Amino acid sequence: MTKRGLPTVEPGQLTLGRKTIMDGGLAAKYGSKYVKLAAFAIDLDRVRELADEAEDSIFPFGFEVFLIELQLLSQLDLEDEDDLTLLEEACVSVFERLRDDEEPPLGAALLFAVYDAVRNEELPERFAALFEGWKEPPKDLEKSIDELFQDPEIEATDLAMACLEVPLSPPLSPPTRAALELMVEGTEEAQ
């Protein structure tokens, strides 16, 4: 009987082409809850980048922030101190990865989703301290997200369906695909 090893991936073989917000230390500390949230933010930023390249994009400004905000509010228990700490540490990690001379890492839209959740009093006030260094609030983004929140279930369904149809390479991560499918199914079942 011959021994067969598991297939391995060589460094650089699978890459998204630039840095992401995925933090190995936080993944080890918080496990799948953190990984799923970070992967969702990364994938939605990838969809946004592809949509930005299209001349006839159907995606409104800030759609990725809107969907990330909905996902974090549904995925995390906002009454659980461990989940709140996870989110705080994830934000700090993203801020630490931002460099003035580089593009933001994929998934950095998570910060704007947290900012908006604080602005709408969905997250505790202590999260506001994370954004005290911002020179001014992102007014255009706030306006666009406020419009999406006029009818969040319908907007989430339409946007999630559109995200699922974007031909990403590599494709959406399985947890992101599952979360987007739930957004679609949840609204369809409610109708």
Q: Is 101 helix (H, G, I), strand (E, B) or coil?
A: coil
| Cα–Cα distance for residue pair 181/163, rounded to 1 Å | 10
**Lowest-pLDDT range of 53-57, 86-90, 174-178, 185-189:** 185-189
Rounded to an integer, the average pLDDT of 165-176 is 95
Q: Is 5 helix (H, G, I), strand (E, B) or coil?
A: coil
Tens-place pLDDT, residues 132-157: 999 999 999 999 999 999 999 999 99
Q: Per-residue pLDDT for 190 more than 80? A: no
CA nearest to 88, candidates 126, 133, 135, 134:
126
Average pLDDT, the chain: 91
Q: Is 40 helix (H, G, I), strand (E, B) or coil?
A: helix
pLDDT: which is higher, 158 or 3: 158
Any idea where the domains of the chain sit in the sequence? 24-151
Rounded to an integer, the average pLDDT of 119-135 is 96
Rounded to an integer, the average pLDDT of 181-190 is 74
Q: Is 141 within 8 Å of 63 (Cβ atoms)?
A: no
Tens-place pLDDT, residues 59-78: 999 999 999 999 999 999 99
Q: What's the pLDDT at 14?
A: 54
